[in-house]
Amino acid sequence: MKCPHCGSERVIKAGKTKRKYVTRQGHRCKDCKRYFVERDGFEGRHCPGEIIALVLHLFVEGLSLSKIREITWQHHGYRLADSTILDWVKSYSKLLKRFERKRISKPKVKGRVHLDEVELKVGKKDLVHKRRGQPDQVQPREQVSVEQDARGVRILQGAEKPHWRASARGFPAGKTQTPEGTEARDLRER
């Protein structure tokens, strides 16, 4: 381990820093006599990096704040406020943007490809392609999931607006259809 201030490797353990859920080992440099904690990207946070990474993953996957809060409490024993989750999302969205750029790439196909029938569900559309020998007509399942993750990141960064309300076919968002087939009044007016 090196001192972040002077670069010296003459470092000794010097106490611990305790937060709500995390205890970090402190170090002191023998050359410059300065105290520091090893940097892991999650400095100053009250939860371990694994929990922060889990929360960000669940948010990108589209889970609601209440569902994320419930999972972290029931399965991991961490009580989180909605504001904490949103603060983490905002502060780590730049890192997610870099991750998005690296992760999205065109699939490379070599050799002969034979496709009889491929059924994919993308968003609300079911796409069925029945083509032989035309791999460019079908998008691989793994690319679809990567694009959905990328959409979640764009929502986090504010580049794309989320669709919080699902709309019934043929009706604008916020409208619904009664069993008799008539359109109900806008739900936002309630």
- Tens of pLDDT, residues 68-121: 999 999 998 889 999 989 988 888 887 767 776 766 655 566 777 665 555 545
Query: What is the per-residue pLDDT for 166?
Result: 44
pTM of the model: 0.44
Query: What is the per-residue pLDDT for 171?
Result: 44
| Per-residue pLDDT at 67 exceeds 90 | yes
Does one domain contain both 22 and 62? no
The tally of domains found in the chain comes to 2
Mean pLDDT, the chain, rounded, equals 69
Mean pLDDT of 139-153: 52
Does one domain contain both 73 and 153? yes
Does one domain contain both 38 and 51? no
Does one domain contain both 125 and 91? yes
Domain extent, residue 30, equals 1-42
Does one domain contain both 13 and 78? no
| Per-residue pLDDT at 144 exceeds 60 | no
Does one domain contain both 6 and 75? no
Query: What is the per-residue pLDDT for 168?
Result: 43
Cα 54 to Cα 51: distance, rounded to the nearest angstrom:
5
In a domain, 177, yes or no: no
Does one domain contain both 24 and 52? no
Cα 81 to Cα 46: distance, rounded to the nearest angstrom:
12
Does one domain contain both 11 and 91? no
